[in-house]
Amino acid sequence: MSDDVRTAILKASLELIDENGLRAFSMREAARRAHVSHQAPYHYFPDRESILAELVRNGFEQLHTYMSAGSTPADTAAERLERMGEAYIRFAIEHRALFRLMFRDEMVDIGHHPEAKAAADRSFHLLVEAVVGPSPSGEIADPAPILAVWSIAHGLASLELEGKLQHLFGERTPQEWKQIFSEVVRTVIPARG
Protein backbone atom coordinates (compact mmCIF):
# COMPACT_ATOMS: atom_id res chain seq x y z
CA MET A 1 0.00 0.00 0.00
CA SER A 2 2.66 2.42 1.02
CA ASP A 3 4.02 2.62 -2.50
CA ASP A 4 0.82 4.47 -3.27
CA VAL A 5 2.05 7.33 -1.14
CA ARG A 6 5.46 7.24 -2.73
CA THR A 7 4.14 7.37 -6.27
CA ALA A 8 1.57 9.97 -5.30
CA ILE A 9 4.37 12.20 -4.04
CA LEU A 10 6.36 11.74 -7.24
CA LYS A 11 3.29 12.38 -9.36
CA ALA A 12 2.45 15.51 -7.42
CA SER A 13 6.04 16.74 -7.69
CA LEU A 14 6.11 16.32 -11.45
CA GLU A 15 2.76 18.06 -11.80
CA LEU A 16 4.04 20.97 -9.75
CA ILE A 17 7.04 21.65 -11.95
CA ASP A 18 5.05 20.97 -15.12
CA GLU A 19 2.38 23.44 -14.18
CA ASN A 20 4.37 26.28 -12.69
CA GLY A 21 8.07 25.70 -13.30
CA LEU A 22 10.95 24.40 -11.24
CA ARG A 23 10.55 26.99 -8.52
CA ALA A 24 7.00 25.81 -7.85
CA PHE A 25 8.18 22.55 -6.34
CA SER A 26 8.24 22.24 -2.58
CA MET A 27 8.10 19.15 -0.42
CA ARG A 28 5.24 20.53 1.61
CA GLU A 29 3.12 21.38 -1.42
CA ALA A 30 3.81 17.97 -2.94
CA ALA A 31 2.77 16.35 0.33
CA ARG A 32 -0.39 18.44 0.39
CA ARG A 33 -1.32 17.32 -3.10
CA ALA A 34 -0.67 13.72 -2.12
CA HIS A 35 -2.96 14.20 0.90
CA VAL A 36 -0.34 13.31 3.46
CA SER A 37 1.43 15.23 6.17
CA HIS A 38 4.42 17.41 5.45
CA GLN A 39 6.72 14.76 6.92
CA ALA A 40 5.42 11.72 5.05
CA PRO A 41 7.84 12.23 2.13
CA TYR A 42 10.75 11.71 4.51
CA HIS A 43 9.65 8.14 4.93
CA TYR A 44 10.46 7.43 1.29
CA PHE A 45 13.17 9.94 0.45
CA PRO A 46 16.04 11.12 2.61
CA ASP A 47 15.71 14.71 1.48
CA ARG A 48 14.30 17.10 -1.06
CA GLU A 49 16.99 16.47 -3.66
CA SER A 50 16.30 12.74 -3.67
CA ILE A 51 12.71 13.30 -4.74
CA LEU A 52 13.93 15.36 -7.67
CA ALA A 53 16.63 12.80 -8.42
CA GLU A 54 13.95 10.16 -8.87
CA LEU A 55 12.19 12.40 -11.37
CA VAL A 56 15.50 12.90 -13.16
CA ARG A 57 16.04 9.17 -13.37
CA ASN A 58 12.60 8.62 -14.88
CA GLY A 59 13.29 11.50 -17.23
CA PHE A 60 16.48 9.97 -18.58
CA GLU A 61 14.70 6.68 -19.08
CA GLN A 62 12.05 8.45 -21.12
CA LEU A 63 14.74 10.28 -23.07
CA HIS A 64 16.34 6.91 -23.83
CA THR A 65 13.02 5.70 -25.21
CA TYR A 66 12.64 8.78 -27.40
CA MET A 67 16.16 8.46 -28.77
CA SER A 68 16.13 4.75 -29.43
CA ALA A 69 12.74 4.99 -31.14
CA GLY A 70 14.38 7.30 -33.66
CA SER A 71 17.24 4.99 -34.55
CA THR A 72 16.41 1.88 -36.55
CA PRO A 73 19.63 0.23 -37.67
CA ALA A 74 18.77 -0.01 -41.37
CA ASP A 75 19.34 3.69 -42.05
CA THR A 76 22.54 5.53 -42.79
CA ALA A 77 24.52 6.97 -39.92
CA ALA A 78 23.69 10.53 -40.90
CA GLU A 79 19.97 9.84 -40.97
CA ARG A 80 20.12 8.16 -37.57
CA LEU A 81 21.90 11.17 -36.11
CA GLU A 82 19.41 13.55 -37.57
CA ARG A 83 16.47 11.63 -36.16
CA MET A 84 18.16 11.26 -32.81
CA GLY A 85 18.79 15.00 -32.58
CA GLU A 86 15.16 15.63 -33.41
CA ALA A 87 14.06 13.12 -30.78
CA TYR A 88 16.27 14.84 -28.18
CA ILE A 89 14.74 18.21 -28.96
CA ARG A 90 11.23 16.81 -29.10
CA PHE A 91 11.69 15.30 -25.67
CA ALA A 92 12.90 18.64 -24.32
CA ILE A 93 9.88 20.48 -25.71
CA GLU A 94 7.34 17.90 -24.60
CA HIS A 95 8.80 17.74 -21.08
CA ARG A 96 10.07 21.25 -20.57
CA ALA A 97 10.37 21.40 -16.81
CA LEU A 98 11.69 17.87 -16.51
CA PHE A 99 14.37 18.44 -19.13
CA ARG A 100 15.58 21.50 -17.30
CA LEU A 101 15.68 19.61 -14.04
CA MET A 102 17.75 16.85 -15.65
CA PHE A 103 20.48 19.32 -16.59
CA ARG A 104 20.54 21.55 -13.52
CA ASP A 105 23.24 20.12 -11.34
CA GLU A 106 22.69 22.63 -8.57
CA MET A 107 19.20 21.20 -8.10
CA VAL A 108 20.14 17.55 -8.53
CA ASP A 109 23.81 16.67 -8.27
CA ILE A 110 23.78 13.52 -10.30
CA GLY A 111 27.00 12.34 -8.69
CA HIS A 112 25.09 11.78 -5.46
CA HIS A 113 22.38 9.67 -7.08
CA PRO A 114 23.80 6.56 -8.75
CA GLU A 115 20.53 5.37 -10.29
CA ALA A 116 19.94 8.71 -11.95
CA LYS A 117 23.53 8.73 -13.17
CA ALA A 118 23.18 5.21 -14.57
CA ALA A 119 20.07 6.19 -16.51
CA ALA A 120 21.85 9.26 -17.86
CA ASP A 121 24.80 7.12 -18.92
CA ARG A 122 22.54 4.75 -20.83
CA SER A 123 21.08 7.63 -22.85
CA PHE A 124 24.54 8.96 -23.51
CA HIS A 125 25.76 5.58 -24.69
CA LEU A 126 22.99 5.56 -27.28
CA LEU A 127 24.39 8.77 -28.71
CA VAL A 128 27.97 7.51 -28.71
CA GLU A 129 27.00 4.41 -30.62
CA ALA A 130 25.11 6.44 -33.18
CA VAL A 131 28.20 8.57 -33.80
CA VAL A 132 31.09 6.12 -33.69
CA GLY A 133 29.22 2.86 -34.33
CA PRO A 134 28.75 -0.04 -31.90
CA SER A 135 31.55 0.01 -29.35
CA PRO A 136 31.12 -2.16 -26.26
CA SER A 137 34.17 -0.66 -24.59
CA GLY A 138 33.42 2.60 -22.88
CA GLU A 139 36.54 4.24 -24.24
CA ILE A 140 36.11 7.27 -26.46
CA ALA A 141 39.06 8.08 -28.64
CA ASP A 142 37.94 11.40 -30.10
CA PRO A 143 35.27 13.34 -28.22
CA ALA A 144 34.91 16.05 -30.85
CA PRO A 145 32.32 14.49 -33.19
CA ILE A 146 30.19 13.28 -30.30
CA LEU A 147 30.35 16.66 -28.65
CA ALA A 148 29.40 18.32 -31.91
CA VAL A 149 26.08 16.53 -32.31
CA TRP A 150 25.26 16.59 -28.62
CA SER A 151 26.01 20.29 -28.35
CA ILE A 152 23.87 21.26 -31.27
CA ALA A 153 20.88 19.33 -29.98
CA HIS A 154 21.36 20.43 -26.39
CA GLY A 155 22.05 24.02 -27.33
CA LEU A 156 18.97 24.28 -29.50
CA ALA A 157 16.78 22.67 -26.87
CA SER A 158 18.15 24.88 -24.10
CA LEU A 159 17.78 28.11 -26.00
CA GLU A 160 14.23 27.19 -26.94
CA LEU A 161 13.24 26.28 -23.38
CA GLU A 162 14.75 29.41 -21.90
CA GLY A 163 12.65 31.47 -24.25
CA LYS A 164 15.57 32.96 -26.17
CA LEU A 165 14.30 31.87 -29.56
CA GLN A 166 10.72 33.12 -29.42
CA HIS A 167 12.20 36.19 -27.90
CA LEU A 168 14.68 36.93 -30.66
CA PHE A 169 13.19 35.32 -33.74
CA GLY A 170 9.55 36.06 -33.03
CA GLU A 171 6.64 33.74 -32.50
CA ARG A 172 6.48 30.68 -34.70
CA THR A 173 4.25 27.67 -34.61
CA PRO A 174 5.66 24.40 -33.22
CA GLN A 175 5.45 23.05 -36.76
CA GLU A 176 7.67 25.86 -38.04
CA TRP A 177 10.15 25.29 -35.24
CA LYS A 178 10.36 21.63 -36.05
CA GLN A 179 11.12 22.59 -39.63
CA ILE A 180 13.87 24.98 -38.56
CA PHE A 181 15.33 22.48 -36.11
CA SER A 182 15.54 19.88 -38.85
CA GLU A 183 17.28 22.34 -41.11
CA VAL A 184 19.84 23.23 -38.45
CA VAL A 185 20.49 19.63 -37.58
CA ARG A 186 20.86 18.72 -41.22
CA THR A 187 23.15 21.67 -41.83
CA VAL A 188 25.51 20.72 -39.07
CA ILE A 189 25.52 16.99 -38.72
CA PRO A 190 26.96 15.98 -42.10
CA ALA A 191 29.87 18.30 -41.40
CA ARG A 192 31.67 15.95 -39.07
CA GLY A 193 34.34 14.05 -40.99
> Which one of DNA, a second copy, none is in contact with 48 (Cβ closer than 5 to 8 A by kind)?
DNA
* Residue 166: its H or E element: helix 164-169
Output the smallest distance, CB 115 to a second copy, in A: 15
Selected from 38, 104, 112, 172, the binder of DNA by CB under 7 A is 38
Which residues, at least 6 apart from 82, have a Cβ–Cβ distance to it below 8 Å?
A: 182, 185, 186, 189
Residue 37 region by backbone torsions, left for phi larger than 0, else alpha for psi between -120 and 50, else beta: beta
Selected from 32, 75, 78, 169, the binder of a second copy by CB under 8 A is 169
42 binds DNA (CB under 7 A): yes
Output the smallest distance, CB 146 to a second copy, in A: 9
5 binds a second copy (CB under 8 A): no
Output the smallest distance, CB 168 to a second copy, in A: 6
Closest to 159 measured CA to CA, from 183, 126, 191, 181: 181
Q: Which is nearer to DNA, 50 or 68 (CB)?
A: 50
> Which one of DNA, a second copy, none is in contact with 105 (Cβ closer than 5 to 8 A by kind)?
a second copy
186 alpha-carbon distance from chain centroid: 21
Identity at 72, one-letter amino acid code? T
Identity at 38, one-letter amino acid code? H
Q: What's the rounded Cα separation, in Å, for the pair 191 and 185?
A: 10
162 binds a second copy (CB under 8 A): yes
Map residues 80-119 to x or -, x wherever contact with a second copy holds by CB under 8 A. --------------------x--xxxxx--xx--------
